[in-house]
Each structure stands twice: as C-alpha cells, then as structure tokens.
Structure 1
Amino acid sequence: MGEIRLVGTAHVSEKSVAEVRAAIEEFQPGIVGVELDPGRYNALRHEQAPPKVEDVLKAGNFSQLLFQWTLAYLQRKIGMDVGVEPGAEMVAAIEEVEGRGLPLALIDRDIRITLARFWEGMSLWEKVKMVYALALSVGGVEGDEIDIDALTRQDVVSAALDEFRKFSPNGARALIDERDAYLARRILDLSGRYDRVMAVIGAGHVRGVERYLSSPELLPPEADLVARPKSYPWGTIVGGAFIAMFAFLIISLAFSGVGFEVLGWAILYWVLINGVLAAVFTLAAGGHPLSAATAFAVAWLTSLNPLMAAGWFAAAVEAKVRKPSASDFQRIMDAEDFSQMRKVPIFRVVLVAALANVGSTLGTIAYFAFISPILGIDPTVIIPMGFSNFIGWLGGLFSF
C-alpha cells in the first residue's frame, strides 16, 4: 500500500488554497484525489451544460432543489464575505496537478446520491428545523462572526460536527459519515496503485477518513453507500388519510340530518380554505396573479388526489408567464443576495411550486382543525350519529 497524506481544508479559506499548493510541493504525490464528483468538478471548471428547464419542471422535486440552491448560496455568501470563491482550494489542487502533469482522481460520492440520501433520510422534524435554520440564514439574521481559518482546526471542526449531529443525526449520517467511508474507500483503492497518494478533503472529513484508513475492516459495503434511498410514499399515505377523513366527514354530515345547507357549506369551505391558502402562498413566493388564481382553482381537487399537487399547476402557469431559460441557472449561482435569486425566473417558478404546495397542505390541515366551529356543529354528536345512520342505510340497501 502506498503512503497517504490527507490535507484538510475549509472550502472558503484563502489559507487552505495556499496549504494545498504547499502540500503538493512538499509531498510530491504520485496522484492527487480531490473531494469532488464529476458533476461538481465540471461545475467548478465551468464545463457542465446547464440542465434543461423542462427536465427541472418535470422532475417535481422542488423542495430539494430549493434546499440545494440555498445551501450553495450560503456557502457562496461566506466566500464572498472573506473574498474567496467556494471550492477555490479544489481548483488550486486541480491547477497544481495539471501543471505538474500528475493524474487527478475524483473521490467523492455523486452529489445527487448524497442529497437524495440526505433529504430522504431526515425525519420530518429534522427537515422542519433545517428549513427554519436556512430561512434565518438567508433572511440575514446576524450571528457571531465566523473565523474561516479556524474551520480547519480539528477541535473546532469536531465541536461543529457534534452540534450538527445533535441538530440532525440522520442528516449528519448522509453528509458526513457515509461520505467519510466513501472517501476512505477511494483513497485506499488509489493507495493500492500509487506509491504516494494525497487527498484534498474538507476538514470535517479528516477524522472520520483517518479512522477508516487505520481500520479498513470497519468500512461498510460500498453498495450500501451508493444505493438510492428507499423512498416511502408518505405523501401518498398522508394524502390518502386526508381524503378518507374528508369523505368520512361529508358522509357523516349527509346522514346526520343537519340538512343540505350545512353539507353545502362544508364542501364550499373545503374549496375556499384550500384555495385561499394555496393562492396566498403562491403570491408570497412572488408568483404571478394568474399562478395564484390557478393554485386557488385546483387546490381543492389536488388535496383529494395524493398523486397531484397544486404547486405543479401553479408552476406550469408561472413558467408560461416568466419564460425561464437555461441561462437562469448561472444567474442563480451569480446572485449576491436572496432578493436577486428571487428575480431569476426559474427560481421564481420553483419557489412558487414549493410554496403553493405548502399552502395547499396547510389549507387541508386548517380545514379539519376549524370546520366544526365554523359550521357550528358538535362533531362528537353529529359524526357518530351520521355514521351510524350511514351504516344502517347500507344494511338496508343490501338486505334481502
């Protein structure tokens, strides 16, 4: 096995850029591995073609896309604050390797797999906390000043990772632990073919990678690290539950004897509460009035079909109005603040889709929470009575 040198960096540190160049000069590696996958490598080298707008809209993973863009924005914002482009230390390593005619290895897991495992692996509560924390960060809530160079000191890194594990244990597993193992596997593979291997990785991975390098028997099977996460259809399950509740409520009211007027109001409020909240959230996203009207018009129906979402229809109308183009993706990356990002058509479309869905979901929850006092009925009396009458009606219908 070849000799291995790990260089831990902070992705927005000028000091890390210098350390990478110095380490290559001093260690004289036979190959350099960098914490990149082909997609991020091409993006750093500006060799990656932007995705097609149609493909982004068809994929429908609007929440994950917003999360990815927001994380990229926050990292870039920190970089701008300290005058260093995010990933500059990786670019420095690549340029140094190319200048010396050395081979370069991309040793990180595909970012699409990492983000998928990160998002799907988190509990609902972890996702809520993550979205809230990102909203505060994007909103410009001030905190303690960040010492970028301190981010490469292992004691500081360990403390930060410990806090992240408390905040989101499942997220930490996908972003840190699994990638520690993946990086270690790639580095060990390189050391079997080269005498001197240098790996440029984030400081947060150094301790975990070192542990696996010293005890390779602890490495999990590679298939477990690259498999797409099992996705349970929670949206379909929850949506189906709401449909069953709505049907149960309407049937109970219909057979309770409260009259068709109360039944009609119950149905009308379903349309209004779902539609109004979906439209309001669409407008809050900066959506066009036509998009908000579309969200209002379809929310009552999409809430009764777990395979449909109000945001999809609102996004389709928003895309027709805003006319996003492939150049929008680069404009998102170049935006200096969140207000600039919101002006980019494709970002506006995705934001409209995500928030319209949130509004529709909240509308469904609000309906069941407030429909009884709105209608002035006692559900503990009306629903059992109506359901009992319905069962009796069924019994009479099928009796011979």
Structure 2
Amino acid sequence: MAEIRLVGTAHVSQKSVEEVRAAIEEFQPDIVGVELDRGRYIALTEEVAEPSVMEILKGGNFGQLLVQWVLTFIQQRIGAETGVKPGSEMLAAIEEARTHQKPVAFIDRDIRITLGRFWGKMGIWEKIKFIGALMYSLVSVEGEKVDIDELMNQDVVSAAMEEFRKFSPRGAGALIDERDAYLAHQILMLGSRYERVLAVVGAGHIQGVQRYLDAPETLPPLPSLTAEVKGLPWAKILGSAVTVLFILLIAAIAFSGVGLEVLLAALLYWVLITGALSAVFTLLAGGHPLSAATAFGVSWMTSLNPLLAAGWFAAAVEAKIRKPTVGELQQIIAAETFSEMRKIPLFRVVFVAALANVGCTIGVIAYFTFIFPILGIDLTEVVTTGFSNMLQMLQSLF
C-alpha cells in the first residue's frame, strides 16, 4: 500500500514555501501532487492570451466575473502583506520536485468547473450575502495586517470553514467538500501507481482530504464532482414571471374602469422606476452619463424580456467610451486598492453591466411594491373588478 503524506499550506505564506521544500527533501516522494489544475499552472508561469472585451460582454456572467476578480484581488493583497505571490508554495513544490527529478501531478479540479459549480449551486440569497461579504473584505484587507501563522492554525482553519458553511452551505459544498473529494480521488489514483506520494494542498483541505483517504469507500463518484450544474434557469423563469405579472396588472387596471389616466400613469411609472434605478446604479458603478442614459432608456423593455438585460446595453456604451485595451485583465489582478481597480476601463465596463442589472431588478421589485399606493387605488378592488370584467367580456365573445 502506498505511503501518502499531506502538506497543508497557506497560499500566500513564505513559511509554507519553506515547509514544502523541507517535506520533499525529508520524505523523498516518488511523485508530488500539487493543488493546481493545469490551467492555473499556466496562468502562474506563462503569459496567457486575454479574452477580448466583446468576448467578455458576450459571456454575460458579469456577477460571476466580478466575484472571481475580487477574490483574486483579496488574495493578491494578502500576498502583498507577506511578500509572497499567491501560488508560490505550489510552484516551489514543482520546482523542488523537478530538482530531485520527481514527477509532478496536478491534482486539483479545473478552476472553471469549480467556479461554475460554486456559483451555480448557491441560491440567490447566498449570492447576495456572499457578494456583500466580498465588498466588506475589500475594505478589511486594505486596512488590516494579516497574520499568516494564525491562518495556518488548524483550529482557526476549521472554525473558518464552519463559519463559511453556515454562511453559504451550498457554496461550501462546491468550493470545499467537493474539492476535498476530488483531491482525495486524485491522490488515491497516484497511490495506486507510486509507493510514496506527497500531496501539497491548502490548509483548509487537510481534514477533509484525510477523512476520505482514511475511508475511501465514502468518496462520491468522480463524475459527480465534475458534471455541469444544471439547475432551473431561474433568471429566465423570474423574467417571464415579471412579464406575465406586468401584463396581468396592466390588463386589470385597463378593465377595472379606473380610467385611461391611471392606466397611462401605471405605464409611465414602469418606465421611470425601472429606468431611474438602473441609471442610478450605473452611475454608482462609475459609469458615464451616456451609459446611465442608455440604461434608463432600455430598462423598461429589458425587464419585460428574460433574454435581454439592461446591463448589456449600458456596458456596450461604456466600452465604446472607455475603450478597454489588451492587458487590462492583468492590471485588474495587480491593482493594489479597489479604487485603483475601479479606474481600469475593463473593470468599469463589467462593473457597470452588473450594477445596471441590479438597479433594474430593484426597480421591478419597487414597482410592484409601491405602484398601487402611488396611483392611489385599492389593489383588491382593481384586481377583482378588472378580472371580473375581463371574464365577462370573454364569455360574451364565446
């Protein structure tokens, strides 16, 4: 049976780099497994082609993209505090293994699969809380010293994992538990071919991976850890529901007999509320006034079409004005403060897209919440009378 040793690291710790080197020297493994996938290894060691602005806009996953950038930014800032580039301990493991002429295996799940499953498995409320926590972290990281030795303390790691599990159980399942299982699968496969296996993983994965190594029969099937999360298309469902609800609302007002003036006011407020909030959020993102005007002009329509989004149009205008260039993705990752990040045209374009959509969504909620008090009519009476009159008209036709 193979002898397997795990080394837990903090991803931005010089001490971790030294511990990895010492473990390879002392254990003399037949192979070293590192918590990287091949794509991240290439990103750490080589210049990679950046997607064009149009490719980013066509992707449409602005919220997910911002989360990825902010997570990278936070890790970079912690690394700056310690003088260690994120991923250095993994690169050190690779370098040391090759110095000793030992093969290296990339044992982590593809980052694109992990992020896709992480974002896809979280509920709407979890995503809102998570993004709020990230915004808070941006401020905390810029203003506080980071104690890496404390981060490496296993009790602290366990407590942090449990807190994240309470905060976002589905997100924790994809980001932590699934990767524990995936890493254990890969390590066991290495153990079937080599006698001595050293696996370098983040400290937060040590307990979970070891638990699976001690009881391999509890591992979930490997295909279940890499399959695409295919939940219900909630965005389209909710968008369609808004469209139907709005049509029914306007129809009820039209047939209730309250008058053409009230009907036109209801339509006007739809344009004003969804447009104004979308425009305001575009400006909050640092968008150009023309981008805000675009968001205002299209929100009434995009909010009624689940296949369109106000942020797409606002971002397209913002991109024309800001003219993002090749190389700005690296500038975003290298930014030292969030304010500096916001000044980069590419970030501004994506930020505008995301916040314009948020504003439009809040506008839809505000409209259905406050429209009847604004119009000064009784909801129950209008709906009851309106649908009753519609039913009578249909009966008379058939």
TM over 0.5: yes
Give the CA deviation at 1:243.
1.2
Deviations along 1:67-114, whole A, 9 cap, x unmatched? Answer: 010111111111112222111111211221232232111000011111
Deviations along 1:271-297, whole A, 9 cap, x unmatched? Answer: 111111111101110111111111111
For 1:254, the aligned partner's letter is: A
Q: State the alpha-carbon separation in 1 of the partners of residues 153 and 372 from structure 2.
A: 58
For 1:296, the aligned partner's letter is: F
Q: Which residue of 1 aligns with 2:12?
A: 12
Query: Judging changes above 3 Å, is the alpha-carbon distance between structure 1 residues 144 and 80 closer, same or farther for their aligned structure 2 residues?
Result: closer
Q: Which residue of 2 aligns with 1:120?
A: 120
Give the CA deviation at 1:154.
2.0
1:252 aligns with 2:252: yes
Structure 2 portions without partners, runs of 5+: none
Same amino acid, percent of matched pairs: 65
Q: Which residue of 2 aligns with 1:272?
A: 272
Give the CA deviation at 1:143.
8.3
Q: State the alpha-carbon separation in 1 of the partners of residues 365 and 152 from structure 2.
A: 46
Q: Which residue of 1 aligns with 2:242?
A: 242
Q: Which residue of 2 aligns with 1:178?
A: 178
> Is the contact made by 1:4 and 1:191 (CA closer than 8 Å) also made in structure 2?
yes
Q: State the alpha-carbon separation in 1 of the partners of residues 212 and 77 from structure 2.
A: 33
Q: Where do 1:78-227 residues align within 5 Å?
A: 78-140=78-140, 146-227=146-227
Q: What do you get for the CA RMSD once the two structures are aligned?
A: 1.4
Q: Where do 1:38-53 residues align within 5 Å?
A: 38-53=38-53
For 2:37, the aligned partner's letter is: D
> Is the contact made by 2:212 and 2:218 (CA closer than 8 Å) also made in structure 1?
yes
**1:84 is paired with a residue of what secondary structure?**
coil
> Is the contact made by 1:252 and 1:385 (CA closer than 8 Å) also made in structure 2?
yes
Q: Which residue of 2 aligns with 1:27?
A: 27
> Is the contact made by 1:39 and 1:48 (CA closer than 8 Å) also made in structure 2?
no
Q: Where do 1:56-67 residues align within 5 Å?
A: 56-67=56-67
Q: Which residue of 2 aligns with 1:339?
A: 339
Give the CA deviation at 1:63.
0.3
Give the CA deviation at 1:321.
1.3
For 1:213, the aligned partner's letter is: L
Give the CA deviation at 1:142.
8.0
1:372 aligns with 2:372: yes
Q: State the alpha-carbon separation in 1 of the partners of residues 281 and 150 from structure 2.
A: 40
Structure 1 portions without partners, runs of 5+: none
Mean Cα deviation higher: 283-292 or 132-141 = 132-141
Q: State the alpha-carbon separation in 1 of the partners of residues 12 and 275 from structure 2.
A: 44
Query: Judging changes above 3 Å, is the alpha-carbon distance between structure 1 residues 164 and 46 closer, same or farther for their aligned structure 2 residues?
Result: same
Mean Cα deviation higher: 326-335 or 150-159 = 150-159
For 1:305, the aligned partner's letter is: N
Give the CA deviation at 1:313.
0.8
**2:256 is paired with a residue of what secondary structure?**
coil
Q: State the alpha-carbon separation in 2 of the partners of residues 294 and 50 from structure 1.
A: 28
Q: State the alpha-carbon separation in 2 of the partners of residues 136 and 83 from structure 1.
A: 23
> Is the contact made by 2:77 and 2:141 (CA closer than 8 Å) also made in structure 1?
no
Q: Which residue of 1 aligns with 2:230?
A: 230
Query: Judging changes above 3 Å, is the alpha-carbon distance between structure 1 residues 154 and 40 closer, same or farther for their aligned structure 2 residues?
Result: same
> Is the contact made by 2:77 and 2:142 (CA closer than 8 Å) also made in structure 1?
no
For 2:319, the aligned partner's letter is: A
Q: State the alpha-carbon separation in 2 of the partners of residues 64 and 377 from structure 1.
A: 41
Q: State the alpha-carbon separation in 1 of the partners of residues 36 and 203 from structure 2.
A: 14
**1:114 is paired with a residue of what secondary structure?**
helix
Mean Cα deviation higher: 175-184 or 39-48 = 39-48
Q: Which residue of 1 aligns with 2:294?
A: 294
> Is the contact made by 1:32 and 1:199 (CA closer than 8 Å) also made in structure 2?
yes
For 2:10, the aligned partner's letter is: A
